[in-house]
Structure 1
Amino acid sequence: MQGFGETIFAEMSALAVRTGAVNLGQGFPDTDGPSLIAEAAVDAIRAGHNQYPPGVGIPSLRAAIADHQRRFYGIELDADTEVLVTAGATEAIAAALLALCDRGDEVVTFEPYYDSYAACIALAGAERRVVTLRPPSYGFDPQDLDAAITPRTRLILLNTPHNPTGKVFSRDELDHVARLAVEHDLLVVTDEVYEHLVFDGEHVPIATLPGMAERTLTISSAGKTFSFTGWKIGWISGPAALVAAVRTVKQFLTDVNGAPFQPAVASGLALGDGYFTDFTADMRAKRDLLCDGLGAAGFEVFVPQGTYFATVDVRSVGADDGRTFCLELPERCGVVAVPNVVFYDDVDAGRTLVRFAFCKRTEVLEEAIHRLAALGT
């Protein structure tokens, strides 16, 4: 783990606290999710669901996850053998990479990448090979992906909708990834935590593509879908043999977690379509509000198709280094953002890019926009 220090999220959030700035850096909502889910957790605590749950997760939550995959994507899962509850999506990623990779294996992923990807690949003793997504569309060159595959490649680590760019991989792009996985007999681990935050395009789970169900592990979580990020309830699903391998590792990480939160999340997954539609519509409105405000402040904005992050190029406001810009921004106008360069191996590709989170109350976004407007004065 040499070279891995404090995460950028902790650093920028501490800066927000120290300066009293509006924190549009770390990606967590500033309001709770549905009261029905919160009350279900309270009820579970009062009913005594406070001891160790089963290592794989409580049956009702595993069944709810399987029902969710069938309901939204037509994916059929055995809740007893093909679903594993984890301590958030981050643990699922770590356990999957530790379970499936040996020292010297290569993991292909796209950059910019969520920072835990690099750390978890390193923990597994594997090596990362990256394919760069380039603005404004954040597409990738298929030849770059082809070239990243070597005889040492073990798996492809995919994230769609994608953090930090907000890209939603198209079906054509996923078809190309799937073709390579089948051709080279690779595993795919796909992080789909923003699956219900797609504003433009369509979320297509790669497990639904031909030849992929038997080689794909799909990860998601309650944190992003229900705005209870602190509960750390995630899951991983896929072929029984792969899930069993992940479970073997997971039991020596956290073992179990979140006993009273698990039945609450199960109740959330059973909510009607109206919840998911309204949730997406609300976040789309916040995306548009912030992106319009950033544009009015003079930024070149790469409007995201999904997630709750928007990226800008700070050269459009006269800066040439995103990290320096973010460190100075709280003092200049009282707003915190995150420099995207920390998510890149190719430092030059990310040097001038900065990410703002819009998963905040409307009045908070409006205040941030007001403050950012001062940059041009």
Structure 2
Amino acid sequence: SRGVGVASNLLSDDLSEDFVKKIRAENEDARRRHTAKDSAGRALSLEAARANKADIDWSAWQPTPPAMPGVHVLDDYSLAELRDRIDWTPFFRAWELIGTYPAILEDDIVGETATALFSDAERMLDQIIDEKWLSARGVFGLFPANSDGAESIEIYADEDRTEVVSHFHTIRQQMKREGGAKKTRANFALADFVAPAESGVRDYIGAFAVTAGIGIDEHVARFEADNDDYNAILLKALADRLAEAFAERLHERVRNEFWGYAPDERLGNTDLIKEAYQGIRPAPGYPACPDHTEKEGLFSLLSATDKVGIELTESFAMLPTAAVSGFYIAHPDARFFGTGKIAKDQVEDYARRKGMDLATAERWLAPVLGYER
């Protein structure tokens, strides 16, 4: 029987490790195939998913024109200002210390370690700011825009809205929905939250790219030359937190000043961290927008590499790594969501919209494919 062969393989020192790896690989392949088959059976067609898009009354929406349209650069942004906006909870999580700041500092299990780490972080932040180890640079743009009524957002050169300078291609959920209020049980795409051109509503969109990692390589190299891995990692972690704080602070200023659709907003840091404000800033590579290649159009639109020195690698990672980029959508119903698994009809449509061949689109969308390639 097969059981004899299995037992023999497990008992053999020479074969057991390879055999276990083989079985694990087979199990993972079976799991993936089952998931793909199950997802395919539960997916709506793209046409049906579009019929259940977010239900927004565009006649009731009057978008605020940006106070500062076009592209703008923020050079050498105050790190002291960004320090006050740091969300510390992900910082501790990066060190595998689980808990919410500031309560984690009093935690019975990890409190002492967290407190020591926090003290080191504060001390290094003092050096970063006082000795100008890092500088923060950002670029943002605010543009006229409308959706095509499906999954793409057209970004226009100016208020004439005749020249399309870029697109933001989004993905629509295709899972079957059962029950619930339509507002929360729709098959969402981010494009749903930008007024379709056919509505006649003159809507807008924003884009941004920020970094707090300019100058980091020199100091990381210095620590590594001294075999000081702890401080090298600490510096990278703090640069990441400053970049995220920059993204949060810039979004706040966009809402209040630069776009100005929420001029009377008054939120504390806790509410900002909870994103308790109007509008969202979706980022390519995250659950609502899983395709990293959308960064290419975003960077081109902003001239981000030329203006602030953030580069994209072949895999569309950002350098310096302490960087954040994304879009601004202002509609009050705009929300984050995960796309879930998507069907081949949408991937084919997405490839057509992007001007990609199907295999390339499938490669970039691999984590959300609901079928076997």
Q: Is TM-score (shorter-chain normalized) higher than 0.5?
A: no
Output the TM-score relative to the length of structure 1: 0.23
Structure showing greater Rg:
2
